[in-house]
Every structure is written in C-alpha cells, then in structure tokens.
C-alpha cells in the first residue's frame, strides 16, 4: 500500500522566507538597542538611529550603551543621528519610540522611506484623542507602506544578552500573502531576527497583537498597586487573568481575535510585565500601592510609564465602543481622577458576580458588596 509523502519528506520542496538584509532601528533606548543587537546577531546590516549624541558615540566607539550598562553589543551596529542615512537604504524599519511620538516620527521618515519597505511598530499603546492603534496612526501618515508590529514578553536586557526569548511579528495578510505566507512581510521579518536565542512567531492579527501590547501595561500597574499595598500572589493571578479578559474584549470589539490575546503578545507579555519591577508599569504601581506620591516615584525622576498614559486612551476608546473594562477603569480612576487606591479595588472585588464563559449571561449582586476587601 502506498502512503502519502510525509510533510517532512526530504524530497518535498520546503518554503523559505528571505530575510531583509538592511534593518534600521529608530530609537536608541534599551529595547531599540536590544533589537539592533538581535538583528546584528541574526546576520543583518544594522543602523541604530537616536537623538542623543553621547549614546550614539558610545555605541560606535565602545560597543556599549548606557541603556544596557555593562553589556557588550555585537560588532556591526552603526549608530547615527542622521534620519535620511538611517532610513534611506533600509529594507525594513523598526519604530522603537514612545507611543506618543509615533505620528511625528512617521511624518519625519516619510520622505526617506523607499516604496514597499515595511515599518514595524514596537511602541505599544492607543493614541490619545483619536483612539487609534499605533498601526492606524502609521497608516494615516504612511498610507502606501506595509505596517506591522513586533510584540511579546521581552525585557530588553535579557533579550540582548542572549537569554532565550520569543515574540510575535504581526502584519495584515494580503491575498498574495495567504497564497505564499513565506513571502509575507511578517515571515520575512521573523527570519530577519531569528537566531539561536531569539524565536519569532508570525501572526496575521495585527489588531489583536497591538491590543495586547497596549492594555497589558495598564493591567501591570494594577498588579503593582495591589502588590505595593500588601496583597500577594492570589490577587496578582486574578488581576492577570481578568485583565486578559479585558484585553480579549477590546481586541474583539476592534475586529481582532480573542485567541491572539492568549499568545505571546497578550498572555505572554502580560504575565512578564505583571511579574517584575523591571517593568516600569509594575514598578510605578508598586510605589503607588506603598503610598508614595506620584511626583516622588522613581526618586522624583521624570520616567515615562506607557501604561499611565494609555490608561486614558484605553478607557476613552472602551467608552466609545461601549465595552466595560473594570480593571483598566480602576487604574484610570486612581491615576487620573484622584480615586482612593484601596477603596477603588475594594469596590472592584465587591462588584456584581458574573460568569466567566461569555455564553452564560449572568450578573448577581455580590453578598459582601458593602464590606470590600482588607484595607
């Protein structure tokens, strides 16, 4: 009896993706520098653009960066402050700057970006005022450019020093991409960064990937608040899982897939960000939970915390869509409306009892609604 050939049979052609040779990373902070290191180790020609001449000089002359202190970067990264030089010859461009700067930076690179060159967003958030995801912002400014995102559980230093790390690369798939997925921008970006320690996965659900990245920072602040207030692992686990449900709800409302949120860019990134004060979001929450005033957090230094900004835009978006995100709402109320931290979470824990499966329509009063949790 003849059996069909195995998918792994040696005589069967294997589809391969062609990497992008020249990769430019815009943003010379910790994650941008780490991505430059990953691309360089994967064999790419890498340019790293930034604004601080001291940082750029340190990368070029010493192979190090103050954003990753004590870590030797691989040889072959060229740091520059010249945007035209950085973007003009690039085969792929990664934007690794705060979410609030994405629109401006896209406008700045537009004159230098060659047709068809993909732009990969590594900023996570929802634009204030418009309620647009970062990919929607970029698409408005760069309408003829393929736009995607790279997201996942990735602390910069660990990835840069070669710890095993995985992330998701997401782009919308065209009809041609579905016929030949190995030729899609997502697949080509994945092989451009894949190495012995860095494992990318490919997704066609850009919305789901972006929502996970935006909302997880807000949930991480909630976890930090409760940790700083003296609560332990049960509380954090509950916030992570129920926070992930809020991420699923928002993703679905925007046209993404709930299942995407269970992957690296959702559950993976959420778990990491909610588990360590290496995350500035978690660290801010811990300090606020300990009763430290916002102006005194981080020893009074002006540290940008994405979840603090995104708490506003995420809740504005949720309200416009008519969806309920109670944990994000609690964080927003504490950060931006002066609500009492412990009282706000006490109210959340005593909110009406609901069913976990969406198919079961149930809401009943909590028996201790007026008692709250321990203060």
Q: Which pLDDT tens digit goes with each residue over 313-338?
A: 999 999 999 999 999 999 999 999 99
Based on the domain organization, do 134 and 234 belong to the same domain?
no
Based on the domain organization, do 126 and 212 belong to the same domain?
no
Domain count, the chain: 2
Note if 248 is an active site residue: no
Half-sphere exposure (Cβ direction) of 279: Cα atoms closer than 13 Å: 26
Domain-located, residue 7? no
Last residue within a domain, chosen from 168, 185, 204: 204
Q: Which pLDDT tens digit goes with each residue over 138-156?
A: 999 999 999 999 999 999 9
**Confidence (pTM):** 0.90
Domain-located, residue 369? no
Which of the pair, 16 or 357, is modelled with greater confidence? Answer: 16
Q: Which pLDDT tens digit goes with each residue over 27-84?
A: 999 999 999 999 999 999 999 999 999 999 999 999 999 999 999 999 999 999 999 9
H or E element at residue 199: strand 198-203
Q: Indicate which residue of 216, 248, 301, 342 is catalytic.
A: 216
Token readout for 92 is: 């792929």
Angle, vertex CA 252, rays to CA 246 and CA 254, nearest 5: 105
Token readout for 357 is: 């499966």
Neighbouring C-beta atoms of residue 73, cutoff 10 Å:
23
Domain-located, residue 370? no
In the sheet that 147-151 helps form, which strands lie side by side, from edge to edge? 77-80, 45-49, 22-26, 92-95, 119-121, 147-151, 165-170, 198-203
Burial code (b: 16+ CB inside 10 Å, e: under 16) for 7-28 equals eeeeeeeeeebebbebbbbbbb
Domain-located, residue 224? yes
Q: Which domain holds residue 214?
A: 208-364
Tokens 């709402």 belong to: 329
What is the spatial distance between Cα 315 and Cα 129, in angstroms, rounded to a whole number? 11
Tell me, what's the pLDDT at 230?
Answer: 96
């Amino acid at each position: 009896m003849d059996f069909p050939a195995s998918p792994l049979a040696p005589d069967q052609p294997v589809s391969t993706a062609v990497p992008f040779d020249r990769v430019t990373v815009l943003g010379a902070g910790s994650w941008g520098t780490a991505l430059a290191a990953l691309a360089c180790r994967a064999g790419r020609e890498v340019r790293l653009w930034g604004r601080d001449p001291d940082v750029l000089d340190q990368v070029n002359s010493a192979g190090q960066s103050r954003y990753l202190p004590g870590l030797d970067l691989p040889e072959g990264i060229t740091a520059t402050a010249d945007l035209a030089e950085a973007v003009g010859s690039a085969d792929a461009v990664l934007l690794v700057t705060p979410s609030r700067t994405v629109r401006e930076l896209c406008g700045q690179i537009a004159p230098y970006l060659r047709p068809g060159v993909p732009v990969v967003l590594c900023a996570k958030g929802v634009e204030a005022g418009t309620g647009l995801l970062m990919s929607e912002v970029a698409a408005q400014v760069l309408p003829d450019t393929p736009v995607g995102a790279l997201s996942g559980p990735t602390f910069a230093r660990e990835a840069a020093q070669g710890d095993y790390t995985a992330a998701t690369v997401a782009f919308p798939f065209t009809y041609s991409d579905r016929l030949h997925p190995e030729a899609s921008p997502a697949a080509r970006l994945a092989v451009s960064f894949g190495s012995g320690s860095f494992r990318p996965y490919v997704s066609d659900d850009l919305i789901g990937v972006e929502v996970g990245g935006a909302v997880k920072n807000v949930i991480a602040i909630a976890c930090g608040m409760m940790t700083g207030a003296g609560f332990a692992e049960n509380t954090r686990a509950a916030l992570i899982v129920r926070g992930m449900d809020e991420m699923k709800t928002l993703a679905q409302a925007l046209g993404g897939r709930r299942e995407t949120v269970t992957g690296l860019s959702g559950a993976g990134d959420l778990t990491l960000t909610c588990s360590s004060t290496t995350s500035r979001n978690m660290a801010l929450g811990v300090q606020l939970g300990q009763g430290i005033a916002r102006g005194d957090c981080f020893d009074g230094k002006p540290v940008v915390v994405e979840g603090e900004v995104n708490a506003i835009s995420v809740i504005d978006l949720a309200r416009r869509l008519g969806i309920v995100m109670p944990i994000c709402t609690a964080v927003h109320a504490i950060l931006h409306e002066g609500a009492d931290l412990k009282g706000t979470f006490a109210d959340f824990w005593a909110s009406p009892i609901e069913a976990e499966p969406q198919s079961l329509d149930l809401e009943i009063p909590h028996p201790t609604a007026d008692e709250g949790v321990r203060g």
